[in-house]
Structures are given as structure tokens and as C-alpha cells.
Amino acid sequence: MDKANDPYKSMLNLISDVGAAAGMQAMPAIGEIVTPPPALTISYNGMILDSKWLWIDEYWLQGHERNTKGHLVSATQYRAGGSGEAAFASHNHDIHDDYTENIIMTDTWHTGDKVLMVPIVGQDNKSVEQFVILCKLVRLDGN
């Protein structure tokens, strides 16, 4: 397909131009995941947008690695040695240690998930050129 004649871009420009002519500004919207990452596609206003239109937080990519560090203060559970001798009476051990950990994230979006889409407006201050997909949305009333 010739990039200059991309129908998705034409549709987005048309929608943006109509909104701008009506005095509307680009506003956040709710999209629906059609295909989860890494081949992400999102349904938005009857159109399917693929990854060239989307920016996401790398947290949502499976296999994304996060590094943590902290300090743990705790104790083991009480356990008895079983011999009946005082040296093996029920006891625990204190834990008081620094730690570092690498966590590999395995969660991601799934087909049908609703996501928040924030438009990125072009230099003309009215045409939507791309979207930032920020988070998965859920409703508390179950709808």
C-alpha cells in the first residue's frame, strides 16, 4: 500500500477535521483490544488501529523486566526439631536483610479489554496523528 494513500490516516484526518470544525478538541477515548501485544490492534470509533498509530507503556509487553530493591524485616515461622531436647524446642529466625530482585512481567492486555486512548495532536493543533494507550479500564458496576 502506498503510504501517501493510507486509508486509516485519511479517516483519522477526516474525523479530526470534522471535530475541529465543530469547535471540539481531541479528547481521551476508550478503545477495545482486538489483538493483544506484540501485534497490538485496537478498535476505535469503528476503525482498527495497528501499532503504527499507537504508543504504549513498555510495562504491558510480556517479558518486560522490572528491577526492585528494598529491605526486609520479618521472621520465619516457629518450628520444632522434634527430638524433645531443649536445643530443638520450637523456635524461629529473624530476617533483617537488604534485597534486590528482577521481576519479569507476564501480564498484558487481552482481546476485549477496554483501554484509555489519549490522542497525540499534530502540529496543526487539530489533527490526531497517534494515540498513547495508558491503561486497562474496568467498570465497577460490571458493565
Across the chain, what does the average pLDDT equal?
82
Residues 88 and 31 in one domain: no
Q: Please report which confidence band the pLDDT of residue 90 belongs to, taking 50, 70 and 90 as the band edges.
A: confident
Q: Give the mean model confidence (pLDDT) for residues 79-96.
A: 73
Q: How far is CA 38 from CA 1, 32, 52, 110, 121, in A?
A: 22, 15, 12, 11, 24
Residues 12 and 26 in one domain: yes
User: Within a domain: residue 129?
Assistant: yes
Q: Is 117 helix (H, G, I), strand (E, B) or coil?
A: strand
Residues 110 and 53 in one domain: yes
Q: Which domain holds residue 83?
A: 72-103
Condensed to tens digits (0 to 9), the pLDDT of residues 122-143 reads 888 778 889 999 899 998 987 7
Residues 111 and 96 in one domain: no
Q: Please report which confidence band the pLDDT of residue 119 belongs to, taking 50, 70 and 90 as the band edges.
A: very high
User: Within a domain: residue 143?
Assistant: no
Residues 88 and 60 in one domain: no
Q: In the chain, pLDDT over 70 holds for what percent of residues?
A: 79
* pLDDT at residue 96 tops 90: no
Residues 11 and 45 in one domain: yes
* pLDDT value, residue 117: 94
Residues 111 and 132 in one domain: yes
* pLDDT at residue 110 tops 90: yes
Residues 85 and 18 in one domain: no
User: Within a domain: residue 142?
Assistant: no
- Against a cut of 0.85, is the pTM above it? no
Residues 116 and 53 in one domain: yes
Per the structure, the count of domains in the chain is 2
DSSP state of 123: T
User: Within a domain: residue 55?
Assistant: yes
Q: Are the CB atoms for 65 and 103 separated by under 8 Å?
A: yes
Higher pLDDT: 7 or 32? It is 32
* pLDDT at residue 75 tops 60: yes
User: Within a domain: residue 32?
Assistant: yes
